[in-house]
Amino acid sequence: MVTSINTNISSLNSARLLNITNQNLARTTERLSSGLRINRSADDPSGLFAAESLTSEIRGNAAAALNIQSASSAIQVADSALSNIYDVVQRMRELAVQANNSLNSAEQFTALNNEFVSLRSAVTSMANGAKYAGTSLLTGALTTLTLQIGSAAAATQAFTFATQGFTATDLGINASVISSQANAATAITALDTAITSLSTGRSTLGASDQALASLKQAAEVSVVSSSEARSRIRDADIATEVGNLVKAQIQQQAGAAALSAANFSTQFILQLMQ
């Protein structure tokens, strides 16, 4: 190696290596501070792309799970209301059966019919009052639920909500009365049909709710598996980074000592000039 006072090759090389060590130390410290292996695109371009794609899937599936939960909540509100309407219609049928008796007096027919008509009005009130987020559920306006069930743009599905409304008019009992034995017999037939419609409506809601529960579980499982995959790509291995930190700190101290020695290595030239 040529002895020179203008260029100290050992010092330049030591400084270069020390800069590399400082960069590695800064990167390791950043990873330990953030908990992430990828903090900027330059750290791992392809890994960043994969991690961001997984982030879209995770957030999309989480939002889809909320959609599904909202639809399930609406179904539960509707089912609860139908259950109450069902109980009322059953009571109306009991009254109709009691009225189908020639031994009843005019006063008894009147009393039975008054309760019957009040319950008939209650059916319509309950059907009109069953709402979710301002949307009427049992008036026949909502027949199908269509919602996004996954992160993909095409992941939409339609669910049957109801095939009819459930007001007294929709159930065919709006004109029923039990003011006489003949009227009571006619009312029983109409009420039997209404009970069948209510049972079918609740069964339809139950089938849709069961399907939604399975889809919600699938979306939640997808969120967990995608999060795990993203973690393997993006998150820092803390044990490894701690090892890298200790290594970089030792290299930094050694590099600083080497640079200091290199800066004074040409002092012997002054001795040659004496």
pLDDT digits (tens, 9 = 90+) for 237-268: 888 889 988 988 888 888 888 778 777 766 66
Whole-number pLDDT of residue 84: 96
Contact 178, 184 (CB under 8 A): yes
Whole-number pLDDT of residue 13: 84
Whole-number pLDDT of residue 27: 84
Residue predicted with more confidence, 112 or 30: 112
94: pLDDT strictly greater than 80 = yes
DSSP character at residue 133:
T
Residue predicted with more confidence, 272 or 95: 95
| Mean pLDDT score, 146-162 | 91
> How many C-beta atoms surround the C-beta of residue 107 within 10 A?
8
Q: What is the pTM of this model?
A: 0.77
Tell which residue, 229, 238, 239, has the closest CA to residue 33.
238
Lowest-pLDDT range of 19-23, 64-68, 134-138: 19-23
> How many C-beta atoms surround the C-beta of residue 155 within 10 A?
15
166: pLDDT strictly greater than 80 = yes
Average pLDDT, the chain: 90
Percentage of the chain lying above the pLDDT 70 cut: 94
- CA dist 101 and 191 (Å) reads 17
| Mean pLDDT score, 188-203 | 96
Instruction: Look at the block and give the residue holding tokens 């005019």.
Output: 106
Q: Is 137 exposed, middle or buried (0-12, 13-18, 19+ CB in 10 A)?
A: buried
Whole-number pLDDT of residue 18: 81
Q: Report CA dihedral (16, 17, 21, 27) to the nearest 10 degrees.
A: 50
Whole-number pLDDT of residue 269: 64
85: pLDDT strictly greater than 60 = yes
Q: What residues have CB less than 8 Å from 1, skipping those under 6 apart?
A: 9
| Mean pLDDT score, 7-20 | 81
